[in-house]
Amino acid sequence: MTQKKAILLIDDDPVTNMINEHYISSQDGAAQITAFLKPQEALEKLRDGAMADVIFLDINMPEMDGWQFLDEFQKLEKTAKVFILSSSIDPNDIKRSKQYVSVVGFISKPLTSISLKRLMV
């Protein structure tokens, strides 16, 4: 029996999370997708033992931004692949994302079914 892939969506925009969940479900109907509007809530779930294979993370969010999330996530020693999913086109953000071992990609919003197919291969 194949284990479901656990995917976390972390974005302060509920519509973005809803659209991304739709795209991911259409590519991998077996995926277990959990969306968070606040990075702190995702961290708490992960600290409490929740598993994640893939995390799609926005970087520009109030209260705790994606960079702060990544700093805390590193301390958890989890092995999830993190994709930054941001509207930022700042080259410094792309460069900064490469400083995190868990970050495996930087995707410009919006997530599309085409970009998702490339990631799921």
- In the chain, where are the structural domains located? 6-120
Global pTM?
A: 0.92
6-120 belongs to CATH 3.40.640.10: no
Show the tokens assigned to 97.
Answer: 């994302």
Model confidence pLDDT, tens digit, residues 49-101 = 999 999 999 999 999 999 999 999 999 988 899 999 999 889 999 999 999 99
| φ/ψ (deg, to 5) at 91 | -55, -30
When pLDDT is cut at 50, 70 and 90, the band that residue 120 belongs to is low
Please count the other Cβ atoms lying within 10 Å of the Cβ belonging to residue 84. 24
